[in-house]
Structure 1
Amino acid sequence: MWANAARRVGYALLVILLVTIGVQALMAMAPGSVAEVILGEAATPDAVAAMNAQLGYDRPFIVQYLDWLFSALQGDLGVSPITHIPVMDAIMQRLPVTIELAVLALSIALIVAVPLAVLSATFPNRPLDRGINGVTSAFLSIPAFVAGPVLVYLFAVTMKSLPALGWTPISEDVGENLRGAILPALAVALTEIAAFHRVLRADLIGTLREDYVSAARAKGMSRSYVMFRHAFRPSSFSLLTISGLSLARLIGGTIIVESLFVLPGIGQLISTSIIQRDVVTVQGVVAFIAIGFVVINMVVDLGYGIIDPRVRRAPVSKKSSTTAKTPGKAVSA
């Protein structure tokens, strides 16, 4: 157990190192510099060079990275040369917005996808199943930057029921906060609905074909009882995994939606920082998101034991791993 945990932590550290090195390399290759942003378009080359030297950007690439890395290991992600605000403070100020948007989008996706998957698995290859598959396929083909303007036109411009832009903190007004968050969350949730539906539908159909489910039906148990008592839980492993990964991805992948709806979240922070060539802020935000992604993955692994205690108790052997992969057959035994 401890060896597995240590190996996971080692992989996580390697991923974070590679990601942050890649970010700094890409920012270094981008045209312009933060000194030009600070001094303005009228700045002379000598002034820009002097500002870069003052900020330490004239040093070799590896020296700049190691200096940032040693500070980050001590909990200091640096200070933005543009806003003069510590990067960690800027992240903490905007993190609640991004987390709320990601959690709301994930909740919408699960609330819509789970009933659709149950209906599809209950009536596979029937007209209802085909219709649901057609709708989710349409959702899957619509990216957030397309869904956002369409939703704004429908609900903000045509129906005038929801605001198109702006953000009200939840501490000020819960109702207005939700009204401002629902459209961007829905724009992000559409593709997640399609992914969740397809994964859960396939797993449910496979589980419903197991012998122990057929035995339960032969005993006269109702269709809904068999679905939710015997089939749903062992079919939800894949859904748990992709839900956790989706939450991590949504926290770091809301850049377009936050910029489109003018939301003061991490996505808008990193977007603005890239435009301003603020390497310190971009690198700090990316490192923070990478750490969050790794932590959520570990939480997902722990969630397997909550859904099926046999995963928690099973000894590490080939036989036990096979049993864990076929929960339906294990129950029948």
Structure 2
Amino acid sequence: MIVLVTLGVRALMSLAPGSIAEVVLGESATAENVAALEQELGLDRPFFVQYFDWATNAVQGDLGTSLITHMSVSESILQRLPVTLELAVLALVIAMGVAVPLAVLSAAFPNSILDRVINAVTSVFLSIPAFVAGPILVFVFAVQLGMLPALGWIPIGTDLGGNLRSALLPAVAVALTEIAAFHRVLRADLIGTLREDYVAAARAKGMRPGYVMFRHAFRPSSFSLLTISGLSLARLIGGTIIVEALFVLPGLGQLISGAIIQRDVITVQGVVTIIAVAFVVINMLVDVGYGIIDPRVRNSARRAKKKAIAPVKAVPA
């Protein structure tokens, strides 16, 4: 997947009009100067030769050097990744912290007035994109109430409280859509699980509704929630470009957007590689999480492994 993604990015960037050399030299550059710089940078070589050279260095941890800023792409990513990662994780925590209680309430009282009100509120969240929610939150909490800063970023090592204050509004703007998605998925799974026979048996034994909900129904209903939360985290790492630009945050979003405008192929490819690796790693962690949540997954995997390595018995003629 990583190879296909990086190949696609390289191909798309090469389809754009003009060349990187023209961007570096400026509009007054002559054709001879452009050709000389392309030869110096190796841009006149075949497409797959350029990609293979980059991939060989990337496997060794070297994502190249920016053709525009002449900075190491790896260093640029390491400087900006903590901002994007903190924003994505904080948004996911907020979404889970709000969506799970709402889903439990909706599943405990399905089709009630409370359930309908919660569904209406989450539908509003789902219909408001981040670039609309961001200005609304800034107007309410920064301009009118003065509770939180509107723009800027304070590093976590400088001031923890100031860092959380500067990250809260953009994180909430990103989390609103995730709240709606998490709520709907978990609500549907919980309602289905609560109709199972073993849940009815637990209720017949006189167990408390809260105990039945969280002891018997919640864990088997959280598979879909685990899946979409992992995918959401991976998507948020690379999908906060608009929010970062809106709140002036020095994250990966600003780095890749500026690199695309400047035709900085090396920087774009390095950032996309990190995002693709994040998708792969998070998907692997989600698969591991299935076994932690439900031991039946681990047991079935062990049985399948034993069956695969078991010697084949001779069948009598």
TM range (shorter): over 0.9
The one-letter code sitting in structure 1 at the alignment partner of 2:8 is G
1:219 pairs, out of 205, 208, 214, with 205
**Matching of residue 132 in structure 1 with residue 115 in structure 2:** no
1:314: how far off? 2.1
1:147 pairs, out of 104, 121, 133, with 133
**Matching of residue 117 in structure 1 with residue 123 in structure 2:** no
**Matching of residue 166 in structure 1 with residue 188 in structure 2:** no
Q: 2:175 is matched with which residue?
A: 189
Relative distance call for 1:92 and 1:220 in structure 2 (3 A) is same
Q: 2:292 is matched with which residue?
A: 306
Task: State the distance in 1 between where 2:109 and 2:88 align.
Answer: 31
Gaps of 5+ in 2: 305-317
1:197: how far off? 0.2
Q: Secondary structure at the match of 2:156?
A: coil
Q: 2:22 is matched with which residue?
A: 36
If the length of structure 1 is used for normalisation, what is the TM-score? 0.88
1:197-212 alignment runs, 5 A limit:
197-212=183-198
1:317: how far off? 6.9
**Matching of residue 104 in structure 1 with residue 90 in structure 2:** yes
Relative distance call for 1:197 and 1:59 in structure 2 (3 A) is same
1:297 pairs, out of 250, 261, 283, with 283
Q: 1:69 is matched with which residue?
A: 55
Conservation of the 8 A alpha-carbon contact between 1:32 and 1:277: no
Percentage of identical aligned residues: 75
Task: State the distance in 2 between where 1:53 and 1:153 align.
Answer: 51
The one-letter code sitting in structure 2 at the alignment partner of 1:178 is L
Question: Once the two structures are superposed, what CA deviation does each residue of 1:79-107 show, in whole Å capped at 9, x if it has no partner?
Answer: 11112111111111111111100000000
Question: Once the two structures are superposed, what CA deviation does each residue of 1:196-246 show, in whole Å capped at 9, x if it has no partner?
Answer: 000000000001001111111122222111111111111111111111111
1:232-271 alignment runs, 5 A limit:
232-271=218-257
1:50: how far off? 2.1
The one-letter code sitting in structure 1 at the alignment partner of 2:133 is A
Task: State the distance in 1 between where 2:233 and 2:276 align.
Answer: 13
Task: State the distance in 1 between where 2:18 and 2:115 align.
Answer: 53
Q: 2:263 is matched with which residue?
A: 277
The one-letter code sitting in structure 1 at the alignment partner of 2:38 is N
1:305: how far off? 1.2
1:316: how far off? 6.4
The one-letter code sitting in structure 1 at the alignment partner of 2:152 is G
Q: Secondary structure at the match of 1:104?
A: helix
Q: Secondary structure at the match of 2:87?
A: helix
1:288: how far off? 1.3
If the length of structure 2 is used for normalisation, what is the TM-score? 0.92
1:315: how far off? 4.8
**Matching of residue 60 in structure 1 with residue 55 in structure 2:** no
Task: State the distance in 2 between where 1:315 and 1:189 align.
Answer: 35
Task: State the distance in 2 between where 1:45 and 1:162 align.
Answer: 52
Question: Once the two structures are superposed, what CA deviation does each residue of 1:178-211 show, in whole Å capped at 9, x if it has no partner?
Answer: 1110111111111110110000000000010011
**Matching of residue 87 in structure 1 with residue 73 in structure 2:** yes
Task: State the distance in 1 between where 2:17 and 2:147 align.
Answer: 43
Q: 2:308 is matched with which residue?
A: none
Q: 1:323 is matched with which residue?
A: none
